[in-house]
Structure 1
Amino acid sequence: MKCVICKHGETREGATTVTFDRDGMTLVVKAVPALHDKNIGLIRIRQTDQNPDKDAFFQ
């Protein structure tokens, strides 16, 4: 699948770790399904609900 940001790179299925910090507490979620674009280093967290247009992007 083509990267939705750079339009050049190919994304690959994989997994990532996501960390959330709030009010002095940290939540770590491992093995989150994601698409990786090695061209620009973008990680796209895949949505599994009915709103695929609201995927999250991390760099």
Structure 2
Amino acid sequence: MQLVGAREHMTFGGSVTARTPGLLARALTRQGKGGDFRDPERIRKWAHHISAELVAA
């Protein structure tokens, strides 16, 4: 974050499907624990927050 001058960061859930690469993803989908964990409203709110920060700067 310091290298690029970021003021904050945010992580969001993703999508784990049978096509997602990796051992952990395969294990999760085999156990029926895969799915789409993205939250579009949370992402939208964060994007609006960031745009307001940029306008204010």
Shorter-chain TM band: under 0.3
Higher helix share: 2
Q: Which has the higher relative contact order, 1 or 2, with Cα contacts under 8 A spaced 6 or more apart?
A: 2
Instruction: Name the larger-Rg structure.
Output: 2
